[in-house]
Amino acid sequence: FGTGQGWMADYSTVIGERRQLTLADGSVVDLNTDSAIDVRFDAGQRLIRLVRGEILIRSGVDAAGRPLRVASEQGIMEPLGTRFSVRQLDGVTHLAVLEGRVRATPENATPQIIEAGKQVSFGAAAFGPLRPASEQDTGWTQGMLVAENLPLRDFLHELTRYRPGRLHCDESAADLRISGGFQLDNSDAILAALPTTLPVTVSYRTRYWVTVSKA
């Protein structure tokens, strides 16, 4: 499956970078932080391979009528006129459909059509449960990390995707809850603001080695 890491991918982003592309068929692809795709258009199909990371796609209408397919490590997704996001996790693909429908076909399982407003994770052999999808989950395309009563452990895990180095959440603070919209382009400011809203301390061994613990 390509290079596995995406160093030779057609399009990629580094940690903290986001990028928007318009493909030859008019499809618009947003790449999130630390993501990579390969694009292969031929006479039979329009294929986007997600090598790593996360993308948001607004599918274009192809004059030649070729199907658009997105391939992850676990299977193939075929949009039926739509806007949707795909995230490659370790051993799992996460699909969220915001408009239209997407036919998802795991490598070793029966296809399932995911409707607008739903999201699902799947492995090569099975789907997880359907859950509601939210526009908040694509806030990253606007440079925002949106949290709604999120455990601090999960919030900081998401934030680590956008800054280099080690960001550790001590167990003492892991279950504290956080809500709000945060500007991804200044992760240092996000960390600096945490003690003003939560009973935590933010300790820097270096700029790239940070620990958040309960005050």
**Nearest of 122, 33, 19, 117 to residue 70 by alpha carbon:** 122
Backbone angles phi, psi at 86, to 5 degrees: -130, 130
pLDDT value at residue 7? 59
Rounded Cα–Cα distance for residues 96 and 102 (Å): 9
Interval 69-108: pLDDT, tens = 999 999 999 998 899 999 999 999 999 999 999 999 999 9
Interval 123-151: pLDDT, tens = 999 999 999 998 888 999 999 999 999 99
Residue 158 in tokens? 């998401």
Q: Which residues lie below 8 Å from residue 135, measured CB to CB, with a gap of 6+? A: 98
- Segment 110-131 shows an average pLDDT of 97
